[in-house]
Structure 1
Amino acid sequence: MNPNAIKAVIVDDEVGSRNNLRLLLEEYCPEVEVCGMGHDVLSGLELVKKYRPRILFLDIEMPQHSGFKLVEMLDPQERPGIVFVTA
């Protein structure tokens, strides 16, 4: 990992959406490094705690819990910037 990179996590239940966003970030935002990708709220929570990203790309509609639930679970003092992605 590049210590100067802006760390990001992507959470989306659709594999294709996660991969497409990662590819777009790699191509157009080389300063952003995707350090983890999750498929649901719980995996997203683990990734945020592990990597402490500056940006969280988050799907709203996911099975079991919405992206809003993940936001509620995060400590407001340590919450990354959130970009909601939805189709």
Structure 2
Amino acid sequence: MDKDTVGGSTPGESLEQAVAEQLEFGHMEAKDPEEEAARRVSPPYVVRIRTERDPILEETAVYRNMAEEVDDRYDAYLKAAGRKPEEHD
């Protein structure tokens, strides 16, 4: 008998047979598709950069110099940022 054979088959064949049996008759783990989808989504990353100037405030000032704002919607933002809203003519 050849030393590489086990029970009439080679080790590769017996391993292949064991894998085939496991796939065909083994226990199948059922996972919730929604939970798996949520697990696969990467976590959100937040990047914060400290600046000396607020680009929104700077841009708003430029636009206010070019045109008149109809509803003054950025006044609340200016107040929250600690700046006084500019008076319009």
Normalising by the residue count of structure 2, what TM-score does the alignment of the two structures yield? Answer: 0.28
Which structure has more strand as a fraction of its residues? 1
Higher relative contact order (CA 8 A, sep 6+): 1
Which structure has more helix as a fraction of its residues? 2
Normalising by the residue count of structure 1, what TM-score does the alignment of the two structures yield? Answer: 0.28
